[in-house]
């Protein structure tokens, strides 16, 4: 059940969701753990046509309903939340059990006001450990994080960066670039676990190639609306 205390939470976990009813029980069980540890959890529904919102509310979670678009949903969740520490969690990503303590230590170090975790990708493909290792290494070198790595930041930095850009794809890349101009990220070696279903269903190599093509096109300035049609 949600934390009924009026004390301001130390951490707000913001989760954009859309038509997640089939996978929602597992997600809500994971999020209940964080509520019990005192975190504020805000689910942001982008207009689901299934029972996502009703199921989450029935389980006692706060649900914000807004228009679809992950960036828009995460911005709405940040606006509705109350903590000075924000963590943006994809619906198919799971945090380590002591993530709140890790974040508290990271923020109190004063080295930076934002960062991300390393990631493990779960799935059938034997390439997934290699893909995860490359993602983690690339992120550590470039200072650019992906949403699968559970981006976290102070509210002050979130506001200073202007929140997530209202674009249909690469919003995680763009906010990382903005935040990186302010400070280098905290790269936690502890791992979140995310789903490898895209790699499993579409094939590891085709998906890797697609991701690099999209990043290259985005770097060259191709509009994200064009890119999102290729991503789907």
CA distance 109 to 165: 28
Q: What backbone phi and psi angles, to 5 degrees, belong to 200? A: -70, -40
CA distance 11 to 34: 9
CA distance 231 to 212: 11
CA distance 131 to 229: 23
In Å, the largest CA–CA distance within the chain is 49
On whether the CB atoms of residues 132 and 103 are closer than 8 A, the answer is no
Q: Please, how many CA atoms are within 13 Å of residue 55, restricted to the half-sphere of its CB?
A: 19
pLDDT of amino acid 60: 94
Looking at every residue in the chain, the average pLDDT score rounds to 91
CA distance 182 to 2: 34
36, 54, 172, 160: which is closest to 116 by C-alpha? 172
On whether the CB atoms of residues 112 and 189 are closer than 8 A, the answer is no
pLDDT of amino acid 143: 95
| Spans of the chain, pLDDT less than 50 | 1-4
pLDDT of amino acid 6: 64
Domain layout of the chain by residue ranges:
12-200
pLDDT of amino acid 2: 46
CATH architecture of 12-200: Alpha-Beta Complex (3.90)
**Cβ neighbour number for residue 67 with a 10 Å cutoff:** 9
Q: The sheet that has 152-154: what strands, in order across it?
A: 62-65, 40-45, 12-17, 85-88, 152-154, 114-122, 186-195, 93-94
| β pairing state of 12-17 and 40-45 | parallel
pLDDT of amino acid 23: 93
| β pairing state of 114-122 and 186-195 | parallel
pLDDT of amino acid 212: 77
């Amino acid at each position: 059940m949600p934390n009924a205390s009026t004390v301001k939470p130390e951490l707000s976990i913001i989760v954009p969701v859309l038509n997640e009813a089939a996978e929602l029980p597992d997600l809500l069980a994971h999020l209940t753990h964080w509520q019990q540890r005192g975190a504020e959890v805000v689910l942001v529904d982008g207009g689901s046509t299934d029972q996502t919102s009703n199921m989450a509310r029935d389980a006692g979670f706060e649900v914000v309903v807004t228009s679809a678009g992950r960036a828009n949903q995460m911005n709405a969740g940040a606006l509705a939340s109350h903590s000075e520490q924000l963590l943006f969690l994809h619906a198919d990503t799971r945090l380590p059990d002591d993530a709140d303590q890790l974040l508290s230590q990271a923020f109190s170090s004063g080295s930076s006001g934002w960062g991300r975790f390393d990631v493990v990708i779960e799935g059938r493909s034997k390439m997934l450990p290699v893909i995860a290792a490359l993602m983690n290494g690339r992120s550590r070198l470039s200072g650019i994080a992906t949403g699968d790595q559970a981006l976290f930041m102070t509210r002050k930095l979130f506001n200073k960066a202007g929140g997530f850009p209202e674009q249909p794809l690469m919003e995680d890349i763009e906010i990382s670039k903005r935040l990186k101009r302010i400070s280098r990220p905290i790269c936690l070696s502890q791992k979140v676990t995310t789903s490898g279903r895209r790699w499993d269903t579409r094939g590891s190599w085709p998906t890797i190639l697609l991701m690099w093509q999209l990043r290259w096109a985005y770097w060259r300035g191709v509009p994200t609306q064009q890119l999102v049609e290729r991503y789907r």
